[in-house]
Amino acid sequence: MSARFAKRMDSVHRSFIREILKVTAEPDVISFAGGLPNPALFPVKEMSRAAAKVIENDGQTALQYSTTEGYAPLRQFIAARYAEKKGIKVEPDEILITTGSQQCLDLIGKVFIDPGDKVLIERPGYLGAIQAFSVFEPKFETIPLEEDGPDIPDMEKVLADDDVKLYYAVPNFQNPSGLSYSEEKREMTARVLAGKSTIFIEDDPYGELRFLGQDKKPMVRGFLPEKHILLGSFSKIAAPGFRLGWIVSDNATREKLVTAKQASDLHTSTVSQRIMHQYLMDNDIDAHIERIRRSYGRQREVMTEMIGRYFPDSVDCTKPEGGMFLWITLPEGCSSMLLFEKAIEHKVAFVPGKPFYVDGSGDNTLRLNFSNSSEAIIEEGIKRLGRCIREFLAPKTKSPRPVAASPQTARESHV
Amino acid sequence: MSARFAKRMDSVHRSFIREILKVTAEPDVISFAGGLPNPALFPVKEMSRAAAKVIENDGQTALQYSTTEGYAPLRQFIAARYAEKKGIKVEPDEILITTGSQQCLDLIGKVFIDPGDKVLIERPGYLGAIQAFSVFEPKFETIPLEEDGPDIPDMEKVLADDDVKLYYAVPNFQNPSGLSYSEEKREMTARVLAGKSTIFIEDDPYGELRFLGQDKKPMVRGFLPEKHILLGSFSKIAAPGFRLGWIVSDNATREKLVTAKQASDLHTSTVSQRIMHQYLMDNDIDAHIERIRRSYGRQREVMTEMIGRYFPDSVDCTKPEGGMFLWITLPEGCSSMLLFEKAIEHKVAFVPGKPFYVDGSGDNTLRLNFSNSSEAIIEEGIKRLGRCIREFLAPKTKSPRPVAASPQTARESHV
C-alpha cells in the first residue's frame, strides 16, 4: 500500500501569506501584509441592487447549473472591453470564465505541466502561481526582474535550448514587486520568444489600476500571437468575493481547459456571474475604476513620501505606476524574516520577500501593500516601520536573534 | 521539448452527458437526459431577498476575499444539521466548503491519487467522479451494484490485498442508477472495510430527497469511523448555481485539502456562501425540501406507472425511494447507444448507460431523469420512448444500423 497522501502534495504548502495574515490580524497591528483591495471602494449598493434584480427576474436560470465555458453575455462583455481598452482582438468563444484567476493557474498546470517540465517565472514571482503550479511538479527556472522588466540576456540563456514549457509573468504592476515591463522590454521579450515552443502566460489582474504613466499594450495579442495565453480578473476592478476570472486562449487550448474545468468544478458560480454581469450592464465600470485609481494613487503617493521621510537611505523602494504593492530592498545581508518579528513588536506588519523566490534568495526584500490602508494609517504605519528598520540596522541589534517559529517554518516550506 | 499538453489529459474527456445535452436541447425534444433539479422549485424570491440583504448590510465583507476553509457560520449550520438530521457528530472545523461537490472530487484526486493507485467505484458509477479522478491517472476497479447495494463477495475479493486507496460510493439514490445501500449492506460494507487502509468516500448529494421508505444512517461516522470522508452539497436541496458543496474529513486530511484548495481557487465565492447562509437563516429549509420531495415523488410515480404501461415486459427498471434518476436495463445484447439515435428521431432523449462503466460494459442500460419534467411531459415522453423501444426490439429492426458519429465518439473516449 502506498502512502496515505499523493506524492505531489509534498511540494505544495499552505500559503505563507495566509499564515502571516493570522499573526497580523490583531486590531492594534497596522498591516501592510495582505493583498486585499480596499473594501471601502466596493460598489456595495450597486451590487446589492444587481443581485436582487437578476435573481428576482431570472432566478430559474440564475440559480441553475450552467455551461462550463461561462455566461455568454459576460464573455461578450470581456471581449468587447479588450477591443475598446486594449486594442486587441479576442473572440467571446476564446474566453473561459474561471473561479477566480487562481483557477486559471490550476487549469494551466493540469493541462500543460508534466512532472519535471520546465516552468519559467519571475524573480521575485507571484506566490499563487508558484503554489498552483507546484501541484503538478514542474522544475522552476527564474529570470530576475529589473526596474523596467526581465533581464533579457538571462532570458535568452534560459530559453536557448527551447525546453521551457511555460513562461509565467505579471507584466503590469507585478505582485509582489509592483514592477512593470517597459515597451522596449515587451518587444525584446517577444523577440526572444519568437520561434520557441514556450507558451507565455500573461497574468494581468492589476493592469487597469494605473495611476501614473501610459497604458501598455498587452504582451499576448499585442506583442505575441494567439498561441500564448492571457489571464484576467474582476477581483481588483470590481470585487474579489465573486471569484471571477478568465482565460483567453486559442481554440485547441480552450478545449483542453474546458475539459479540465468540467472535472474541477463543472462551472463557475452562475450566481456570481449573473450578478457581476447585471452590475456591468447597469453601471459605469470605468467611472468606478477611475475612483479606485485615484484612491490607490494617493495612497501610494503617501506611502512613498513617508518612506522617503522615515526609512534610512540604505533602503531601496520601487516606484510603481499602478497596482497595489511596493517592494523594499534592505541592505545586503539584512533578513526581512528577522525584521518581521521586530516589526510585529512595533505593531506593524509586511510580507517578507523570501517566499517569492523559489531559489531561496531574496531574504533582504519585503512587500508592502498600500491599497488596503487609509492615508492616515499609512503615515502612522510607515513611521513605525521606519523606526523599527533603523533600530534593526543599528550595530547594537546585530547580535544573534531568536528565530520565530511560525513564519520561519512556513518559509522553509516554500524554498 | 515534450508534447504541448500534459500526459494526464489523455485520460480525461469532456463529459459525455454535457455533449449529449447539446443534441437534446431542441425545443421539441422531451429530454430525460440532464441531471438538473427542477428550477420551478427554486426559492427565487427568498434568494433574491437574501442576496439584497446580505450585500446591502455587510457588503464590505460579503464581496471581499475570505478564508479557504469557508464561511464559519455556514460550516456551523452544516455541522448542526448533521447532528439534528443524521445523528452523527461533525465539528464545524472538520468541514471545508468547496466550489460545488465536483470540486470535492478534484481535491480528493489531488490529495490522494498517485498515478497507478487503485480507486474502487461502483458499476455503474458516477461520471463526474470518473472524470475528476481520471486527471490523476488512477487504476479503476469496480464493484457491481445490486438492488440493495454493492456485491459483497466481489468487494471482499477486490479489497483482499489491501492495495485499494479509495472506495468512492453514492450510497443514497445513486447517480446514475437510483439504487441505495440497504441497512444490511451498509453494515457488511463497513465490516469488509474494517482494518483496511482503503478510504471510503461517501458522496451524498441526494440523501435528503427521499420520498419513500426510511432514512438511513450515513456510512461515514454512522457505520465507519473518522478517517473516512463524507461529501455534501446544496445543489439539490437549494440550488446548484451557487456551486456550494463541502467535505467532511479528519483534521490531517482537511489540512491537505485546504492546501490543495488554496492552490485551486483560493476559496469558494464569498458571495455565494453569504447569500446561501442568509437564505438558510431567514427561511425554513426543511419545509422547502419537503416540497421538493413531494414533487419528485409524484414525478417518479408517474414515470414508473407510464413505464409499466408503455414499455415491453422485457425491459427492467429500478424503483428508487428518492433522488432524481431511474435506471433501465434493456434485454441483453440491445445497445442503448443505438436506441438513442432512434429516440432522437422520436423526439425523446435519455443518457445511454455505457459511459458510466469504466470497463466498457453496460451497453444495454440507460438513465432517465424524472426531476426536471412535469407529470404531463413525463407521460408524453415515456409514451414516445415506449413506442421507440418496441420498434427497436421488433425483429425487423435488427438489421445492421449506422452508428451516430457524435455520441459514439464521445462514448469511446470514456471506455
Contact A180, A149 (CB under 8 A): yes
- Same domain, residue pair A265 and A382: no
CB-nearest partner of B265 from A6, A59, A100: A100
- Same domain, residue pair A267 and A326: no
Q: What is the pLDDT of residue B406?
A: 40
**Of B282, B301, B333, which closes a domain?**
B282
| Domain of residue B361, CATH code | 3.90.1150.10
Alpha-carbon distances, residue A94 vs A66, A181, A252, A272, A301 (angstroms) = 18, 25, 10, 20, 38
CB-nearest partner of B243 from A135, A235, A268: A268
**Of A237, A261, A282, which closes a domain?**
A282
In a domain, A312, yes or no: yes
| Domain of residue B58, CATH code | 3.40.640.10
Q: What is the pLDDT of residue B297?
A: 98
Q: What percent of chain B has pLDDT over 90?
A: 89
In a domain, B271, yes or no: yes
Task: For A31-51, write each residue's pLDDT tens digit.
Answer: 999 899 999 999 999 999 999
* Total domains in the fold of chain B: 2
Q: What is the pLDDT of residue A100?
A: 98
CB contact under 8 A, A65 and B102: no
Task: For A179-217, write each residue's pLDDT tens digit.
Answer: 999 999 999 999 999 999 999 999 999 999 999 999 999
Contact B113, B137 (CB under 8 A): yes
B56 contact residues in A (CB cutoff 8 A): 44-45, 48
In a domain, A85, yes or no: yes
Task: For B131-166, write each residue's pLDDT tens digit.
Answer: 999 999 999 999 999 999 999 999 999 999 999 999
How many interchain CB pairs under 8 A, A with B? Answer: 264
Q: What is the pLDDT of residue B254?
A: 96
Task: For A141-177, write each residue's pLDDT tens digit.
Answer: 999 999 999 999 999 999 999 999 999 999 999 999 9
- Same domain, residue pair A293 and A201: no
Please determine, for residue B409, whether its predicted confidence score (pLDDT) is greater than 50. no
Pairing mode of beta strands A348-349, B244-248: unpaired
- Same domain, residue pair A262 and A163: yes
Domain extent at residue B95: 44-282
CB contact under 8 A, A264 and B65: no
A127 contact residues in B (CB cutoff 8 A): none
Query: Which is nearest to B362 in space by CA: B120, B132, B125?
Result: B125
The residue of chain A with its CA nearest to that of B162 is A1
The residue of chain A with its CA nearest to that of B50 is A52
In a domain, B268, yes or no: yes
| Sequence letter at residue B312 | P
Confidence class of residue B396 from pLDDT cuts 50, 70 and 90? low
Q: B165 vs chain A: nearest CA distance in angstroms?
A: 8
Cell 432566478 maps to which residue?
A: A59
In a domain, B209, yes or no: yes
CB-nearest partner of B263 from A99, A132, A263: A132
CB contact under 8 A, A39 and B100: no
CB contact under 8 A, B264 and A132: yes
- Same domain, residue pair A226 and A351: no
CB contact under 8 A, A63 and B39: yes
Q: What is the pLDDT of residue B412?
A: 27
Higher-scoring residue by pLDDT: B264, A14: B264
- Same domain, residue pair B249 and B337: no
CB-nearest partner of A243 from B61, B241, B265: B265
Mean pLDDT across the stretch A318-338?
96
**Of A256, A282, A308, which closes a domain?**
A282
Q: What grid cell was written down for A239? A: 470585487
Interface mutation vs chain B, best among A18, A55, A242, most B CBs within 10 Å: A55
Confidence class of residue A251 from pLDDT cuts 50, 70 and 90? very high
* Entry pTM: 0.94
CB-nearest partner of B36 from A18, A64, A274: A64
Task: For B325-376, write each residue's pLDDT tens digit.
Answer: 999 999 999 999 999 999 999 999 999 999 999 999 999 999 999 999 999 9
Q: What is the pLDDT of residue B411?
A: 28
Q: B123 vs chain A: nearest CA distance in angstroms?
A: 20
Q: What is the pLDDT of residue B22?
A: 73
- Same domain, residue pair B63 and B53: yes
CB-nearest partner of B265 from A106, A112, A136: A106
Please determine, for residue A23, whether its predicted confidence score (pLDDT) is greater than 80. no
CB contact under 8 A, B117 and A2: yes
Interface mutation vs chain B, best among A262, A278, A283, most B CBs within 10 Å: A262
B4 contact residues in A (CB cutoff 8 A): 112, 197
Interface mutation vs chain A, best among B20, B67, B99, B165, most A CBs within 10 Å: B99
B135 contact residues in A (CB cutoff 8 A): 110, 260, 263
The residue of chain A with its CA nearest to that of B259 is A14
Please determine, for residue B295, whether its predicted confidence score (pLDDT) is greater than 60. yes
Contact B68, B258 (CB under 8 A): yes
Out of A74-78, A220-224, A391-395, B149-153, least confident range? A391-395
A51 contact residues in B (CB cutoff 8 A): 48, 51-52, 55, 271, 275
Task: For A354-369, write each residue's pLDDT tens digit.
Answer: 999 999 999 999 999 9
Confidence class of residue B398 from pLDDT cuts 50, 70 and 90? very low
Confidence class of residue A409 from pLDDT cuts 50, 70 and 90? very low
- Same domain, residue pair A238 and A96: yes
B38 contact residues in A (CB cutoff 8 A): none
| Residue B239 phi, psi (nearest 5) | -165, 145
Q: B50 vs chain A: nearest CA distance in angstroms?
A: 8
Q: Bridge partners of B145?
A: B150
CB-nearest partner of A114 from B7, B40, B60: B7
- Same domain, residue pair B185 and B274: yes
Please determine, for residue B238, whether its predicted confidence score (pLDDT) is greater than 60. yes
Q: Bridge partners of A202?
A: A169, A230
In a domain, A176, yes or no: yes
Please determine, for residue B401, whether its predicted confidence score (pLDDT) is greater than 80. no
CB contact under 8 A, A15 and B242: no
Query: Which is nearest to B323 in space by CA: B166, B192, B207?
Result: B207
- Same domain, residue pair B221 and B124: yes
Task: For A73-86, write each residue's pLDDT tens digit.
Answer: 999 999 999 999 99
Q: What is the pLDDT of residue B2?
A: 52
CB contact under 8 A, B63 and A44: yes
Contact A258, A70 (CB under 8 A): no
CB-nearest partner of A63 from B14, B44, B256: B44
- Preceding peptide of A124 cis, ω within 30°: yes
Mean pLDDT across the stretch A84-108?
97
Pairing mode of beta strands A149-150, A30-31: unpaired
The residue of chain A with its CA nearest to that of B14 is A259
The residue of chain A with its CA nearest to that of B47 is A55
A159 contact residues in B (CB cutoff 8 A): none
Cell 517597459 maps to which residue?
A: A182
| Cα–Cα distance for residue pair A193/B153, rounded to 1 Å | 59
In a domain, B1, yes or no: no
- Same domain, residue pair B36 and B69: no
Q: What percent of chain A has pLDDT over 70?
A: 94
Tell me, what's the ipTM? 0.94
CB contact under 8 A, B110 and A9: yes
Neighbours of B85 (CB within 10 A): 14
A235 contact residues in B (CB cutoff 8 A): 65
B114 contact residues in A (CB cutoff 8 A): 2, 6-8
Interface mutation vs chain B, best among A48, A66, A233, A235, most B CBs within 10 Å: A48
A110 contact residues in B (CB cutoff 8 A): 6, 8-9, 135
Interface mutation vs chain B, best among A17, A68, A271, A276, most B CBs within 10 Å: A271
CB-nearest partner of A241 from B56, B65, B128: B65
CB contact under 8 A, A18 and B68: yes
List, in sequence order, the alpha helices (H) in A311-370: 336-345
| DSSP notation for B40-103 | GGS-HHHHHHHHHHHHHHHHHHHTS---TT--HHHHHHHHHHIIIII-----GGGEEEEEHHHH
Q: What is the pLDDT of residue B246?
A: 98
- Same domain, residue pair A251 and A204: yes
Q: What is the pLDDT of residue A24?
A: 73
Q: B14 vs chain A: nearest CA distance in angstroms?
A: 5
In a domain, A376, yes or no: yes
